[in-house]
Structure 1
Amino acid sequence: MPSTRSDVVAVAVTYGPDEAALPDVLERAAAQVGRLVVLDNDSPEVGGAHWSDRVRIPEGVEVVRLEANVGLGAAYNRAARIAREHGARFVLLLDQDSRLDEGCVALLLRHHDLRAEHGPVGAVGPTFVDERSGERAPFVRFGFPLNGKVDAPAGGDVDADFLISSGSLIPLTAIDAAGGFDEGLFIDSVDMEWCFRARAAGLQLVGVADARMLHAIGDELVRLPGGATMFVHSPLRLYMMTRNRVALWRRPGTPGVWTAQDVPRMAFKLARMTAFAAPRGRNARAMLRGALDGWRGRQGPPPAAGRR
């Protein structure tokens, strides 16, 4: 029997979302799934009110407010539990700024069913397009000296070694096989680490060409000399990204080919962030501190602002 939208519970994880954009994100998702739950990671109140008191929530969408910011890994594990409680077969993970094209989930389900005829599926993900640059992101196959970037053919799909969490349709059986998400990573590389385990468990990661999602990469877009562009993150995010990538280099379950290409990639990123992205000094300190903490195996939330 073909999988249908009623088999899917979508969970959108929020933290201080863009209140003007969020209703569109939720409406697009709610129209394509059996149930949509918003899992709020203890967003700070503004003017004494939570964002959910001001934002129009589509009918039938439930907002669950957590008592603390537990990070993405813990939120994704909670999302899987919510999907199970509602009797779903799939959980669809969403960020607060990810807008699904019409028919996106139906396409993900169809490609899941086609691939499931040939072996267990870990996740099926859409093609995502950066909404500021219009740049379409390819799917990734790990390689050395560079990862391979693969575009799925129109109407088709492609094997991938990594899918971003937002927009990923995950059978709950895949979480049983690969395990839950790593809560210690807190924010960045949570999806990367889970994909390592999913592939090691023999699960397919599938990128779908015609399933599209608009998604914002980074905090801003910077134009470089020569016309190239660079996605820029805050010093705090740079700290977390660097810390968690370095931590993954040291883990026995991390593919060696990924580590071999990621070490020079991170060095290159440090150089670019300190040369072209303000605040240069804070960026450099954040990444170097992140590398040291990652090597030491630090886990959990980022350090307090005064310690960065």
Structure 2
Amino acid sequence: MFEAKPQNPALAAALIFAATAFIAGTTLLAKALGTGALGPALPAFQVSHGRFLFAFIAIGGAVAVMRPRLARPHWRLHLGRTTFGWGGVTLMFAAVAHIPMADATAIAFLNPVFAMVLAIPLLGERVGPWRWGAAVVALLGAMILLRPTPGSFQPAALLALAAAAVMGMELIFIKKLSGRERPIQILLVNNAMGLVIATSAVWPVWQSPMPAQWAALAGIGGLMACAQACFVNGMARADASFVAPFSYATLIFAALYDMAVFGVIPDAISLVGAAIILTGALILAWREGRAVRR
């Protein structure tokens, strides 16, 4: 067990906000690699492999310099968290290669809704009417973003929906793991195990990246390492209900990056669907915060 960080809400908010900018940056680079903007399009398995490879190098280097005290990891929890985390990020990288980043990011924000539903059988949690209502609102927003009509349906949006479901399962393991190990150890083990899984999966589809693609893969790993470090340290310095709303800034950065680099401007459907999903997610975060205080 480790000593808890002193509470500092202002610093926590700043760290979470910075994490969202880094996360949106990884999505931008993943889209560039998946759409062929930097050379022949790379498969999502290879993009996620680069994410874990270079993130592990960055975090491993930090551990070698800092030399923190490490405890015995909870291997089963780490394996579950990493497996679902790898699956979620791979599906997300595949989605952004085909649909606007803002749409994919907004749909991915359904992961706390899926986590809430999964927590009923897996964690024995009770879900009241407010939380069910928030889930219904968020799912309604997702249906709008899926554009379920013959002329506008986006099959690739289902990849983002699957990513949200898989990352919801990851949140279950994060809940079980939280408070048991130091953040730096969690990051190190997560990225080491993720690298092993990603290497096994990428072998059949491996392509030799061009220099610009290697740089983008390294950028994804470095940005993700920074995002993870900011996120876990931000979560350690304030209540989850306080910092949760700041994480939704990822959607803003994703839309801005997509517009600046690829010229994609969110349409009315994207704006309405994203707003509804965020409303449901914020209601859910508010209820979670009240439940914790009680």
TM-score normalised per structure 2 = 0.27
Normalised TM-score (structure 1): 0.26
Larger proportion of helix: 2
Greater per-residue strand proportion: 1
